[in-house]
Amino acid sequence: MRRLKPPRPSGNSPIIAVIGGSAPTAEEAAAAEAVGRALAEGGAILVCGGLRGVMEAACRGAKSAGGLTIGILPGTDRSEANPYVDIPIVTGIRCARNVIITRTAQAVVAVGGSYGTLSEIGFALSFGVPVVGLGTWELRREGHPPAPIICAATPEEAAARALALAQRTAVGKAHQSLK
């Protein structure tokens, strides 16, 4: 079966973050790679922390489908980026880069993850950026509704939901700018 070429990223392409741990399980790494591939096939630009683990797996998946990847690096050395990052952005701001990743994205897909992923989820939700979770954190606070993390059962579902949410986010912001 011949694969269709994904749409080429443009200035109108959705930018979707994939976040997760630097030491994922084999299942999480496979899921992240499948998410990256599906996002690229959907025409999205993938942004991540640019290092290893879930970030590398997602970038590898995106590159396998002809996608564009951006890595927001914690340090000041471009060579820290995983080999599948097209555009390494060095920051020297360590984990504060999580703000840049989540502000840049129109939607976030969280795959597994540890406390760094939890901080990115928190930033995204506080900025109004939708989060799709695949085997990641579930957040509850007594007396409050659960955090609006949209659960997905498969990598393909996670990517499809993120693409749809990014589209809605872009349309909503365009409508606000017309007011």
Q: Is the pLDDT of residue 53 over 60?
A: yes
**CATH number (domain holding residue 66):** 3.40.50.450
Q: Is the pLDDT of residue 176 over 90?
A: no
Whether 56 maps to a domain, the answer reads yes
Average pLDDT over residues 22-34: 98
At a CB cut-off of 8 Å and minimum separation 6, what does 70 contact? 15, 45, 46, 47, 48, 50, 85, 86, 87, 89, 104
Q: How many domains does the chain have?
A: 1
Amino acid 175: pLDDT: 43
Whether 6 maps to a domain, the answer reads no
- At 111-135, the pLDDT tens digits run 999 999 999 999 999 999 999 999 9
- At 75-100, the pLDDT tens digits run 999 999 999 999 999 999 999 999 99
Residue 90 lies in domain: 15-178
